[in-house]
Structure 1
Amino acid sequence: MEGYDDHLERALEESPDIAGSGDRFGVPDAEVRQEGNVTVYENFQDTLDRLGREEDHVLKFLQDELGTSAQIDESGRARLTGKFGRDRIEDAIGEYSEKYVLCSECGLPDTRLEREQGALLVRCEACGARSATPDE
């Protein structure tokens, strides 16, 4: 006959792990290369898929954060005017994640952006928290 400790141990083993801080939460490393005076962010679409955000919103943030202009090419790669290293782009994506993806209450990335009375909010589907985003 199983005791309390056995039940508790089995329950803990079968429970999903949600206690993470969401730190980086598996965003792929940026694959970048230089093409003259342009930095090509090869796996931009993979990053978008992981962030769960709109291409235009992430691209605008990158442009503002890096102080450059950018566009999406026919293959879905981000083409940033200027020379930017992988670390610089990853730092910018990390900033984006902190501001627009990770819940400020529970730290999980299970969020979506919504507009309410003109304000852009991050709504967490895990804990229900809503928080305002920085001015756009």
Structure 2
Amino acid sequence: MDYEDQLDRALEQSPEIASGGDRFEVPDPEVRPEGNVTVWENFEAVHDRLARDPDHLMRFLQSELGTSAQIDDRGRARFTGDFKQQRVADALEAYVEGFVTCSECGSPDTRLVDERGTTVLKCDACGAISSVPDI
């Protein structure tokens, strides 16, 4: 088997990874005030799109926004205090940058994995492993 045959075989067996940044769009957070609480209506859709554990995302947001929060029985995030949509969107963007996007190739096709007791970001597109900030 020569090089060309091996290359063709490898390409056939490799997973399809869509190219271009257009395919990965994080939904904008839909937030509204409810008394002294801010409710994030589409929280479930957002963490599903990011393929991240809702508790991990929630811990980050609590730290970033400096407030307490919980996930209600309808999958919505409820933050103590009044937060504007842009403030929540900025916090979400910081999460995506630190815990979703590959620092090497920019791909969102990543996973958080434990490696020797430390959580790292593993890219399924390029194979890079990078550290993530502590929450």
Class of the TM-score when normalised by the shorter of the 2 chains: 0.7 to 0.9
The 8 Å contact of residues 62 and 92 in structure 1, kept in 2 or not, is answered as yes
Unaligned runs of 5+ in 2: 1-15
Residue 123 of structure 2 aligns with an amino acid whose one-letter code is C
| Alignment partner, residue 112 of structure 1 | 111
For residues 108-131 of structure 1, the C-alpha deviation after alignment (integer angstroms, 9 at most, x for no partner) is 100000011111100000000000
d(CA) in 1 for partners of 2:18, 2:25: 15
TM-score by length of 1: 0.83
How has the CA–CA distance of structure 1 residues 53 and 16 changed in structure 2, closer, same or farther, with 3 Å as cutoff? closer
Higher relative contact order (CA 8 A, sep 6+): 1
Q: Secondary structure at the match of 1:18?
A: coil
| Alignment partner, residue 4 of structure 2 | none
Structure 1 ranges of 4+ moved more than 2 A: 19-22
TM-score by length of 2: 0.84
| Alignment partner, residue 129 of structure 1 | 128
Shift of 1:17: 5.4
Q: How many residues of Structure 1 are paired with residues of Structure 2 in the alignment?
A: 120
> RMSD of aligned C-alpha atoms?
1.7
Q: Does 1:69 align with 2:68?
A: yes
